[in-house]
A = this chain, B = another copy of it.
Amino acid sequence: MKRVEKKTSRAERKARRPDEILVAAFEVFAAKGYAATRVEDVAARLGITKGTIYFYFPTKEVLFQETFRHASTSYTDLSTAIGSLRGSTADRIRALLLISYESTANDRKTGELLRLSLAEGIRFPEAVDCYHGRFITPTLAALAALIEQGVKSGEFCQHAAACARDVLASSIFQVAVWRLMFADRTPVDSKALLEAHIDLVMSGLVQRSEPRY
């Protein structure tokens, strides 16, 4: 019977439509920016027509905002990740930053969100808010929490820890910006760069008044 073969029923399909649209829209918006993206481009990517998109989203502007929100949501939840980390505080920070990196490296979405935030931030402040709330705040909070632990445990020197949070976070931005700008022309070993960054910062962060080991 037909029904058996058909894996996605009409109802299922319908339920997924908005998400499908948001996914497709994200790709186009990320690649071309808001103004240069045509609603039809998004539709074409799904093999549907403009009209269908307008059935789910009232305007292009709303489509953009929902798209941005949707794309931000799927970001790996750091607060759960942080609980499962093991090892010294330094190891856990390193692991945390690598998790961020991986999520960026795998689906590029995080990087593209950064691009969109920067590119469209002036016209869509909510997008920046969203990016900030979903990505930056949790990352900074997680880092801050880990650093505090390190200070308490004596691993980190109090003084350096004060602004270590932002400095560590910058490693993520560095890699993201690097990839956005030179993606296809100057391939960079992002992971090595990230780890070097972490190493250098860490070595300035660890307590050193006496022999370390």
Of the candidate stretches A46-54, A60-68, A87-95, A119-127, the one touching chain B is: A119-127
Q: Indicate whether A110 reaches chain B with its CB closer than 8 angstroms.
A: no
The residue on B at minimum CB distance from A121 is B181
The prevalent SS among residues of A at the interface is helix
The residue on B at minimum CB distance from A164 is B200
The CA of A208 and the CA of B210, in the complex, are separated in Å by 11
Q: Indicate whether A35 reaches chain B with its CB closer than 8 angstroms.
A: yes
Residues of B within 8 A of A132 (CB): 181-182, 186
The CA of A87 and the CA of B129, in the complex, are separated in Å by 42
Residues of B within 8 A of A180 (CB): 118, 121
Annotate A173-192 by CB proximity to B: 1 below 8 A, 0 otherwise.
11001001110011000001
